[in-house]
Structure formats: C-alpha cells, structure tokens
A and B are shown apart, each in its own frame.
Chain A
Amino acid sequence: MKKIFGRPRSLKPTPTHYCPGCGHSIVHRLVAEVIDEMDMRGSSIGVPPAGCAVLAYFYFDIDMVEAPHGRGPALATGVKRVLPNHLVFSYQGDGDLAAIGTSESFHAANRGENITIIFINNAVYGMTGGQMAPTTILGQKTTTSPPGRTPLLDGYPVQISEILAQLRGAAYIERCTVNSPAAVMKTKRAIRKAFQYQMDNRGFSMVEVLSPCPTNWKMSAVDACKWIDEVMTKEFPLGVLKDIGTKETGKEKKS
C-alpha cells in the first residue's frame, strides 16, 4: 500500500507537552515538513526559546542549542557565522522576541543576518501562566492586566514585524496564522520562502504566526481560532510586510 501521509523525518516520534488547541505543534510540524522538503535535516540547526517551546529539542529531530530568554537571534548569529551553509533558525514567542529580546531581534535583522526567526505571537506569556505580553491586545484581560490592557497603564501592542520590516537588513517578513487549514498551508509556504531566502543569502527573514492559546485566553479552541480572526488580525494584519524578491525574480539585494 502506498503511504501518502506520515510524520516528517525532522520531527521525533514524541508526544508534545502543548495544551490542546495550541499552535506550537502545528508550527513545529510545518517547520519540520519544510526542512524535509528542502532536504536540509542534516544541516539544520534550531535555537529554541525560553517559554512554552523551550522543549522543542525533544520534538525536532535536528541539532539544536538552547538560548537564554530573548537571546535566540544572538545565538543563531554565532552559529550561522561559523556554519554559513547551514539552515539556522530561532524559534521564539512574543515575550521572548518583543520584550526581553527586542534588542537581539532588532539588530540581527538590521545586520541582515542570514537567519530565520519563527515568531509565535499568542499575545500572552504562555508558559509562565498568561501574563501581559508586549503583543497583548488593548482591552485583553491577562493575569497582570486584570481589568484589560489599557494604553494609559500598559502602553500599546508592539507590532514587531512592521518595525523589523523597516530595517534594510530584513529580506522577507510575513505575518500568518494557523487557525484554519487554509491559513496553515499559507504559513507553510511562508516558512518555506523564509528558509529559501536564507539559503540564497538574501538576509534576515521572519515569519510571524498568530497562534491560539486557548488555555491562557480562557477560551475553547474553536473560540480561540475565531478570536484570532475577529480581534487579533485587526491589531496585527496578516500579509507580507517585506519582500526584497527571490534571487531569480526579484531585485538584487542592496549591499
């Protein structure tokens, strides 16, 4: 019998610890599928974050090295500069990337570092129990913004992709989501493109994924998917924020 669907080679046969309805497992699988399709399993190095995905090295069947909270892009920079022909990505949440690691992300993008960030935006700190993140939506209730986030007390949600897209070192930045099968396929294409840009030495690439967190949003998985469409995408519009073009079709990278 012909096998038409199976576990990607780059994913270990390990059950994940993620909550039901969480987007991490989907994105893990997408990353693994893309690595398999690009035949890069043997020369990929991942950098998992602090936060829910910290145990990613138990799930990905590729070489991985852990980074302290927020420092993924710096670590990935070190790895990539020593192994320039490898696929190097850091996998980060919104607290990791947009709060404690803003500086590292910003400057890795600005240097045009040939790495990819897979950025999971679920608008809260998930692993620590649902505190307010830089990406928490105005009015959203979290454990540290119990009345709902107000600009007066807590500032505004940070649109990190828009910010990084302005940097000249950024080659490709797209915001996607994984709340429907169509959106999942779109996200996979974005990850594939980001990795391809990296392997073509186009510069820094990032895929932001709006990802459901039913546990901390205190919603059912279905409602969480709806909430992304109805609320989150208003603050974080989906789409390509930066694309300098592929090697074949696009403009050449400015030096």
Chain B
Amino acid sequence: MQGNCVIGEAAIRAGCRFYAGYPITPQNELTEYMAEHLRKAEGGVFIQSESEIAAINMIAGASAAGARVMTSSSSPGISLKQEGISSMAACELPGVIVNMMRGGPGLGNIRPSQGDYFQATRGGGHGDYRTIVLAPATGQELADLTMDAFDLADKYRTPVMILADGMMGQMMEPVVFRKPKPRQYPDCYVLKGAGDGKSKFIRGLILDAIEMEEHNWKLARKYDLISRQETRCEIHEAEDAEMMIVAYGTAARVAKGAIRRLRSMGLKVGLFRPVSLWPFPTRELRELSEHIKHFIVFEMSTGQMLDDVRLALQGFANIDFFGRPGGVVPTPAELSNVVSRRYPQKDAYVDRFLRFKVVEGPFGP
C-alpha cells in the first residue's frame, strides 16, 4: 500500500470517525483515501474543509463531542493549523495531525524534506505547550504509529503529530495492520449536552492570572510525565560501533543503506533513530555516548534535530552534521561517502572543509 493510504487505513481501523482536511501535495492520497473509505465506515464523517484553519477547528469540535479525529497536511498547511493545534493543547482535546513534510520555507517545493522539526517539536504555535511527535520510517510504522498516536492522544488528552515526508507518503510497501487496542477515553471529557445534570465547558482562555498559571503548570506536569514515559527510539548496529549516525524518518532509512555499505568497507557505524521526536530520547542517546564518542547527525534540513542531539550529549562526544535541505533525498552512497570521510580514524582537519556543500554563487563560494 502507498504510505499515505496506510495512515488512512490505520486511522479508520483505530476508530477514527472524523476527518477534515484541505488538499495539499504530497499528502492528497490520504485525504482522498478518507473521502472514499471513512465515509463508508459506520458513523464516519469526512469533510473537505475550506482551509487548513477550518480543518483543525472542525476536528477540535468533533473531538470535544467525543469522536476520534484526524487531519492531515503538508508543511505550509501545518503552519496554518498551528493556531488550532495550540488551542487543542490548551483545551486538552485529543486529535491526530499528520504532517507530510515538503521543502520550505514558504511554499518551497513539494519534494521530501525534514525542515519542520523545530515547528513540530517546539510546540509550533504560540504559548507554552508541546505536541507528541512520532516519526515513522517504514510503511509498517506508518500503520503502527498511527494507531499509537490515537491512543497517546486519548491517554494524555493532547494533539499528537505524525511527522513524515513526501517520500514516506508516496512510497509503496507491504503492511500488516495489527488489531487496535480498545479505546480508553472516559466520558467525563466529552461534551454530549448536559442532559439532566450539570453542564460542562471546554476552554483555553483563562483570564485570571493565577488560574492561568495553574493551568499551565498542569499542562507542564503532563508534558513532564509524557517525556518520562513515552520516549521511543531504535538503536541499530550499536554493539561494536565507533561512530553513530543519528537520523529519523526517511533520512534514517537512507542511513541504514549507508551503514550496510560502510560495514562492508569495515567501518563500524551504527544508527540511532529517534521514533518520538518529542519527547526526544535524550537518556537513551546519552547512554550510548558512554562507549561511543563520535556521532554524525544526518537530516534533510540544515540541522534542526542537531540541537536536541547536542542537548542530549552535552559535550560528552564529538558531533558532526550532514544535511541536504533543498527537498533532495541523499542516496545511501552519498551518505556513506560523507560518513567514511569523517570516520574518527581519518584526519579530521583535512575533511573539515568538505563538511558543507560549497555553493557557487554570484558572490563566490
């Protein structure tokens, strides 16, 4: 199945019954899949919204009314959704947001990129909040993490983002859908009308400063709990490694190909792949640095996750970086060339000037 469709199918199987979205490349197949299949599911509602902003607010409303909800978009569209994501975080409304990243900033292009890491992991919208961010790297993970995203959203009553890119969305792979867990979301959080009892309201606006502070502390405690309980990562070929590539999503897949080549050349290289980008698997990465002293961060951006890696390693290891930010997916061969040149036994000084691609422009390199 195609990646975008995998997410759609996994969502429907996980009990998603409300989807609103607006067309933007490269995630249109997901919207189209939901239009076709969610409408057939019992109680399923699909709306093609008039804008990204409307879509995120529609899912917020449906979430308040108790449905499992999802919306999807790609980079510029996610920027528009940020108002609503911030609002959902404040109102503690669960929901799943899919971002199939493309090249940016601005409209950029429609090629795969990883330029939205900061936006995704730092909250993205205004205010003091976080969004759980899951980064799949295979078709199978698109299915599994989508199902997990709904469970996490319900468990913590917070928006959860699936952060992938055009490559993941367009790629076709065989997938086995697992049986989803039964939904656990207490009725007390759902607006169904007051019935004969007390009325409820859901809000994020709190005019009283002390109350606002209490609410923000409550959210902060929740984010603290999430960061202790929900970090996920994959560690690959680390036992004897002298150097680790740190990469996520599509870049991690490319890295796996590169590692096969590097290992065949006798270079002991492994991969550290964060699966949850927020919370970032800081502890797991720091533990690795006890016996591995060389890390190279590989991203399809100019180095955004690099910040998190630096925070995790705190100077206990050498950190190098390689990135292609233009919507280009580097090949395993290109990456393995870069890594082999920077492998710790090599002369670091000679290689340093090779670190960044030199761009010939009217003002010289």
Q: Chain A: residues with CB nearer than 8 A to chain B?
A: 41-45, 47, 50, 54-55, 57, 60-68, 71, 74-83, 86, 103-104, 106-107
Contacts and interface: CB of A to CB of B under 8 A. Distances in A.
B99 interface: no
Contact of B57 (A50, A74, A86): A74
Given A45-B65, A61-B199, A82-B65, A77 B58 contact: yes
Given A79-B191, A82-B17, A82-B18, 10 more contacts: A42-B196, A44-B193, A57-B203, A63-B193, A65-B60, A68-B57, A78-B63, A78-B65, A81-B47, A82-B61
A68 B65 contact: no
Contacts of B66: 82
Nearest to B93: A65
A151 to B, nearest CB: 28
Contacts of A63: 191-194, 199-201
A66 B193 contact: no
B54 interface: yes
12 contacts: A57-B203, A63-B199, A66-B201, A66-B204, A67-B60, A68-B57, A74-B53, A74-B55, A78-B18, A81-B47, A103-B54, A104-B53
Interface string B43-68: 00101011101110111111111110
B64 A78 contact: yes
Given A42-B195, A64-B199, A82-B67, A104 B45 contact: no
B248 to A, nearest CB: 30
Interface of B: 17-18, 20, 45, 47, 49-51, 53-55, 57-67, 69, 83-84, 87, 91, 191-196, 199-205, 207
B61 A62 contact: no
A156 to B, nearest CB: 24
Contacts of B58: 74-75, 77-78, 81
A66 B205 contact: yes
Contacts of B45: 81-82
A4 to B, nearest CB: 25
Contacts of A44: 193-194
A128 B49 CA distance: 29
Contact of B62 (A43, A71, A79, A107): A79
Per CB-CB distance, the 9 closest pairs between chain A and chain B, nearest first, are A78-B61, A57-B201, A78-B62, A75-B61, A74-B57, A43-B193, A107-B50, A82-B65, A71-B57
Contacts of A60: 199
A107 B54 contact: yes
B65 A83 contact: yes
A57 B199 CA distance: 9
Nearest to B69: A78
B201 A65 contact: yes
A158 to B, nearest CB: 18
A103 B50 contact: yes
A66 B63 CA distance: 12
Nearest to A46: B201
Contacts of A54: 205
Contacts of A106: 50
Nearest to A63: B191
Contacts of B18: 78, 81-82
Nearest to B91: A66
Contacts of B201: 57, 63-66
Contacts of B47: 77, 81
Contacts of B54: 71, 74, 77, 103-104, 107
A79 B61 contact: yes
Contacts of A57: 201, 203
A237 B215 CA distance: 45
A147 B91 CA distance: 41
Contacts of B199: 60-64
B86 to A, nearest CB: 8
A54 B207 CA distance: 10
Contacts of B62: 78-79, 81-82
A44 B87 CA distance: 22
A113 to B, nearest CB: 9
B61 A66 contact: no
B51 A103 contact: yes
B185 to A, nearest CB: 13
B126 to A, nearest CB: 11
Contacts of B195: 42-43
